[in-house]
Amino acid sequence: MLVAADRPAAPAAIRTDLGAIFVSLELSKSTWLVTSLSPGSGERMSKHAVRGGDVVGLLARLSHLQDKAQARTGQRFAPIVIQEAGLDGFWVHRALEQEGIESHVVDAASIATSRRRRRAKTDKIDGEALVRALLADKRGEPRVCAMARVPSVQEEDRRRICRERKVLIGERTCHVNRIKGLLFAQGITDYNPLRRDRRRRLEELKTGDSRALPDRLKAQIRRELDRLELLLAQIKDLEAERDALLATEVADSPAATLLDLKGIGPDFATVLYAEGLFRHFDNRRQVAAYAGLAPTPWQSGSVRHEQGVSKAGNPRLRTTMVELAWLWLRHQPGSALARWFQERVRRNGGRLRKSTVVALARKLLVALWKYVTAGVVIEGAVMKTA
């Protein structure tokens, strides 16, 4: 007859013999929630709060977890930390790596969640889910989550030029539209705030009923022009810095050859290099997936259809590639990619141009990646004249 002490131990639901302390961080402005699973503690996860931004307190908590695990098992285990990519950027990850701690940054959207209509969501639940994802990744389970490749400080800083320029262009558009809207209400439709003689023309404007502009309206437009001119000066400075970057730092890399292709200027070359082509990709599928241009199939039994591109990658690179695809048709009409687009549209009876140009953007990105990394010239592409 078996007694309770003779019964075999039930199989553990969580494998904890991987020789490390697994820690997840739920970061917020006020509090960091530290969830950990240590050897010798069974399947129970411990949770502790650290003041937000307190790296010293976080390191002290990790050291305390090591001491407790050593007291239970007699061995010293190294911590492995995981956190979600978010507003905190990568500075916490870099601070941990400087202390010799293995750290990972995961794409939060890649972690499986409950499909219930009303699922519970708290920092404690998310912290435990991160620990389980880290355990599965360390066990070698495929596709359990997507770990982000953290860029270096130089790579991250290089992106600032093209990203800031895009923000300034958007602000410039807002000011231009606001000025045009104010004047349209007075019956004026031919005023362009981006012309160099904008202030002189403002003084000459007449309303639709042949009156001079009201004084307060004219003063408001002058203030809008002041802000617009400041933006134009900042955009000009950024473009000068971009050109200097292309002439020096990027000139030693294969990405400088992008400027040799007709239809690709400094803006597109900077975005393509800083947002995507500086990275290493193993194959064309990884290139398309990073830009969010990979197809998303839906298959269940006999039901099979495509849902379009995933849009799960870099949105700036994806937007730039779609814009470049339209320009490619204009400047490279004799290339094999442009001919493929025209043939596909012709077979569809002239329809589905927008969805087809997204497919062209994916093909063009892969072709540019091969051109930059391996020197494979795009078939039929025209180079710029010297």
Write out pLDDT tens, residues 128-178: 999 999 999 998 888 888 898 898 998 888 889 999 999 999 999 999 999
Q: Which of 38-42, 56-60, 258-262 has the highest mean pLDDT?
A: 56-60
Give me the pLDDT at residue 1, please: 46
250 has pLDDT over 60: no
Residue 18 pLDDT > 70, yes or no? Answer: no
Q: Per-residue confidence at 189, pLDDT binned at 50, 70, 90?
A: very high
pLDDT tens figures, 82-95: 999 989 999 999 99
Q: pTM to 2 decimals?
A: 0.80
3-state SS, one letter per residue, for the chain = CCCHHHCCCCCCCCCCCCCCEEEEEEECCCEEEEEEECCCCCCCCEEEEEECCCHHHHHHHHHHHHHHHHHHHCCCCCEEEEEECCCCCCHHHHHHHHCCCEEEEECHHHCCCCCCCCCCCCHHHHHHHHHHHHHHHHHCCCCCCCECCCCCHHHHHHCHHHHHHHHHHHHHHHHHHHHHHHHHCCCCCCCCCCCCCHHHHHHHCECCCCCECCHHHHHHHHHHHHHHHHHHHHHHHHHHHHHHHHHCCHHHCHHHHHHHECCCCHHHHHHHHHHHHCCCCCCHHHHHHHCCCCEEEEEECCEEEEEEECCCCCHHHHHHHHHHHHHHHHHCCCCHHHHHHHHHHHHCCCCCHHHHHHHHHHHHHHHHHHHHHHCCCCCCCCECCC
Query: Is it the case that residue 17 has pLDDT exceeding 80?
Result: no
State phi, psi for 314 to the nearest 5 degrees: -75, 115
Please give the average per-residue pLDDT across 210-221, as a whole number: 94
pLDDT in tens, 100-123: 999 999 998 888 888 888 888 898
Q: Is the pLDDT of residue 13 over 80?
A: no
Angle at 118 between CA 116 and CA 119, to 5 degrees: 70
pLDDT at 5: 45
| Max avg pLDDT among 111-120, 251-260, 278-287 | 278-287
Residue 283: count of CB within 10 angstroms of its CB = 10
Tell me which of 11-20, 81-90, 243-252, 362-371 is least confident: 11-20
Summarize pLDDT for 323-338 with one digit per residue, the tens: 999 999 999 999 999 9
Select 4-150's CATH number: 1.10.443, 3.30.420, 3.30.70, 1.20.1050. Answer: 3.30.420
Position 255 confidence tier, pLDDT thresholds 50, 70, 90: low
Q: Residue 15: which pLDDT band, with cuts at 50, 70 and 90?
A: low
Higher-confidence position of 311 and 134: 134
